Structure 1
Amino acid sequence: MIKIEALEKEYVVGQRRIAALRRIDLQVEKGEIFGIIGRSGAGKSTLLRALNLLERPTAGKVIIEGEDITQYDTQQLLALRQRIGMVFQHFNLLSAKTVEQNIAFPLKLSGKYSKEQRQQRVDELLELVGLSAHRHQYPSQLSGGQKQRVGIARALANYPHLLLCDEATSALDPETTQSILRLLLDINQKLGLTIVLITHEMQVIRSICDRVAVIDGGEIVESGEVVDVFLHPQHPLTQGLVAENQALDLELLQQLRQRENSDLLRLTYVGDATHEPILHRIAAQTSADIVILQGVIARIKNTPYGQLIVELAGETSERIKVRQLLTAAQVRIDDLHSSAVEGVQ
């Protein structure tokens, strides 16, 4: 669907050249939800806007459906942008138009549809985003979540192949954020629509994305399946983002790592094993002390997972037995005594 090759973007400020993107290589598969996460100023918005050439790269290729769009002329770009919907952080609705008029606006601009076809499409989209009862209201009469639903419906108006979401939930409260994420997931599943979203919140990535790329200083520093990146981050930035999301007490874990005659372990369960009483069964088979210090059981999109920080104390032989039993139960073990504490997640 999307292939980015050696993408670069520079801005000239006075006598200086500032690199916003540095040799980005990425691939987004058709029908997936792909997340791009990074801190403010990392380059994620520039990267997203390069996918429809609202930001024209300095070098590199953006290949969509087999064609390098950086070679497109003006007419080709206009046609491309009708196939790419975009959802904005601050909604960007037309304040003087009603909900249904906002959604119909890109249909009128395209010049492809009759009045009856436009009305039918608006009705479909209002039903899809749950706003049929609000069709005659103006943006000022809507909540933030309702405004974003209008923005999503408008982005879908021209039957796009690709939906770009620019921090689509960062202006919303947590409950509304979850409802918008569920809507995006529903759209992805019902329509088979490819979605690329940028965010600074790991929770957004964890909730709906299939794969993720982490950007820092204009470079991709880590990428992969969300389950792998979220549970076993390699780059310090990713580790920090995950630790913030999990709200783990890293200072406490640093202190615990100094204890002697005990092991500090991170145990990771994925899939069906998440809900099995594995630790309970192992504790009954050994004399080692297993103390759960911190942990979480949750889901990454549709995959259940558990991640626990445990202290393992007792005779060396018993601690080895616990490790063997955990391995046999397909639990991943990371020894935090030999890991940097920043790697805890």
Structure 2
Amino acid sequence: MIHIEQLEKHYQVGGREVHALRNIHLNVRKGQIFGIIGRSGAGKSTLLRALNLLERPSSGKVLIEGEDITRFNSEQLHSLRQRIGMVFQHFNLLNAKTIAENIDFPLKLAGTYSKDVRQKRVDELLELVGLSDQRHKFPSQLSGGQKQRVGIARALANYPHLLLCDEATSALDPETTQAILRLLSDINQKLGLTIVLITHEMQVIRTICDQVAVIDAGEIVESGDVADVFLHPQHAVTQSLVAENQALDLDLLQRIQCHENSQLLRLTYVGAATHEPILSRIAAQTKADITILQGTISRIKNTPYGQLLVELSGAPDQIAVVLNLLRDLDVRTEIIEGAH
């Protein structure tokens, strides 16, 4: 669906060149939800806006459905932008128009639909986002979550192949955020629509994304399946972002006094293994003592996972047996070095 090669974006600021994006390489598969996460100023908005050329790259390629859009003329670019919907952080609704009129607006601009066809499409979209009973209201009469639902409906008006979400939930409270994320996930599944979103919140990525790219100072520092990146972050920036949404209290490590002949382990279960009594089975087979210090079970999108912090005590040969059993059972095992 999307293939980005060697993408660069430079600005001239005060007589010096500023690199907003550096050597970006990304692939987004058709029908997936792809997240781009980074701190403020990391370059994620610039990268997102390069996907519809609201930001024109300094160099590199942006291929959408096999076509390099950086080579498009104005007519081709106009057609492209009709196939790409965009949802904004602050909704960007027309305050003087009703909800139905806001959704109808891009259909009128397209100039290819009759009034009856437009009316039918507006009705479909209002039902899709759960606002059929709000059609005659104005944006000022809606809550933030309702406004964003209108923004999503408007972005879908022209039957886009791709939906771009620019911090679409950052202006919303946590409960409303979850409702909007469920709506986006539902749209992705019902319509098979490819969604690319940017955020600074790992919880958003964890809730609905299939893959994620971490951006810092204009560079992609880590990318991959969300479960891999969230549970086993490699780069310091990713580790920091994950720590803010971390299931385990890693500060606890500083306070733990491990016993003699023991090791501190972080165990990660993914999928069906999450709900299996693995430690009970291992304890029954060995003479080692396994003490659970902290743990959690949660989900990354549709995948259950569990993380445990445990102290493993026993003779060296007993500990070795436990470690081998854990690995044979596909439990990711990390030995925490430096625990006291």
User: What residue identity is the alignment partner of 1:142?
Assistant: L
Mapped contact 1:210–1:301 kept (Cα < 8 A): yes
Q: Report if the CA contact (8 A) 2:258-2:311 is conserved.
A: no
Amino acid at match of 2:13: V
Q: Which residue of 2 aligns with 1:59?
A: 59
- Aligned partner of 1:217 in structure 2 is 217
Distance in 1, matches of 2:278 and 2:249, equals 24
Give 1:251 deviation, angstroms. Answer: 2.5
Structure 1 residue identity aligned to 2:124: E
Q: Per-residue displacement from partner, 1:242-293 (whole Å, max 9, x unpaired)?
A: 1111253332213438765321111111111110111122222333221222
Q: For 1:31, give the aligned amino acid.
A: G
My pick for the range that moved more, 288-297 or 88-97, is 288-297
CA positional deviation for 1:317: 2.2
Contact persistence 1:257–1:336 (CA under 8 A): no
User: Alpha-carbon deviation of 1:338?
Assistant: 7.0
Q: Under a length normalisation based on structure 2, what TM-score does the superposition of the two structures give?
A: 0.96
Q: Which moved more, 1:295-304 or 1:210-219?
A: 295-304
Does the alignment pair 1:25 with 2:28?
Answer: no
Residue 38 of structure 1 corresponds to 38
The residue that corresponds to 1:326 in the other structure is 326
User: What residue number does 1:164 align with?
Assistant: 164
Task: Return closer, same or farther for 1:324/1:81 CA change in 2, 3 Å cut-off.
Answer: same
The residue type equivalent to 1:16 in the other structure is R
Does the 8 A contact of 2:258 with 2:264 survive in 1?
Answer: no
Q: Distance in 2 between matches of 1:291 and 1:173?
A: 38
Q: Distance in 1 between matches of 2:257 and 2:138?
A: 57
Give the match for residue 208 of structure 1. 208
Evaluate the alpha carbon distance shift between residue 23 and residue 258 of structure 1 in structure 2; reply closer, same or farther with a 3 A threshold: farther
Q: Match of 2:149, as an amino acid?
A: R
| Change in 2 beyond 3 A, CA 1:4/1:259 | farther
Listed one character per residue, the Cα deviations across residues 75-108 of structure 1 (whole Å, up to 9, x for unaligned) are 1111110000000001001111111010000000
Q: For 2:23, give the aligned amino acid.
A: R
CA distance in 2, matches of 1:259, 1:168: 48
Q: Distance in 2 between matches of 1:139 and 1:257?
A: 57
> Helix, strand or coil: the match of 1:91?
coil
Matches within 5 A, 1:120-159: 120-159=120-159
1:3 aligns with 2:3: yes
**Which residue of the partner structure matches residue 92 of structure 2?**
92
SS at match of 1:234: coil
State the Cα deviation string for residues 50-93 of structure 1 (Å, max 9, x = none).
Answer: 00000011111111111111111111111110000000001001
Classify the secondary structure of the residue corresponding to 1:245. coil
**Alignment partners' CA distance in 1, 2:288 and 2:156:** 57
Which 4+ runs in 1 deviate beyond 6 A? none
Contact 1:34 1:196 in 2 (8 A): yes
Q: 321-330 or 27-36, which moves further after superposition?
A: 321-330
Deviation at 1:318, TM superposition (A): 2.0
Q: Separation in 1 of the partners of 2:295 and 2:23? A: 37
**Equivalent residue runs for 1:234-273 within 5 Å:** 234-246=234-246, 248-256=248-256, 260-273=260-273
- Return the alpha-carbon distance in structure 1 between the equivalents of residues 293 and 110 of structure 2: 58
Q: 1:236 to 1:259 in 2, by over 3 A?
A: farther
Residue ranges of structure 1 left out of the alignment (5+ in a row):
340-345
Aligned 8 A contact 2:106 2:157 in 1:
yes
Normalised by the length of structure 1, the TM-score is 0.95
1: CA distance, partners of 2:182 / 2:95: 26
Tell me the CA shift for residue 325 of structure 1. Answer: 2.1
1:343 corresponds in structure 2 to none
